Structure 1
Amino acid sequence: MLKHTDIWRAIDRLAAQHGLSASGLARRAGLDPTTFNKSKRTTSDGKLRWPSTESISKVLDATGASLSEFVSLVGDGAGTTPLQRVPVIGYAQAGSAGYFDDAGFPAGSGWDELLFPSLGDPHAYALEISGDSMEPVYRDGDTIIVSPAAQIRRNDRVVVRTKGGEVMAKQLIRETATRIELLSINRAHPDRSIPLSEVAWMARIIWASQ
Structure 2
Amino acid sequence: MYDLRLDDALQRQIETAVDVLANGGVVGIPTDTLYGLAACAFNESAVLKVFELKGRPDGMALPLLLSDVEDAKRCAEEVPPDAMTLAEHFWPGALTLVLRKGAEVPYAVTAGLDTVALRVPDHPVPRAVSRALGAPITGTSANLSGRPGLTSAAAVRAEFGDAIDFVLDWGDAPGGVASTILDLCGDEMRVLREGAVSQEDIDAALNQNSE
- What TM-score range do you get, normalising by the shorter chain? under 0.3
TM-score by length of 1: 0.27
User: Per residue, is there more strand in 1 or in 2?
Assistant: 1
Higher helix share: 2
Could you say which structure has the larger radius of gyration? 1
The one of the two structures with greater contact order (alpha-carbon pairs below 8 A, sep at least 6) is 2
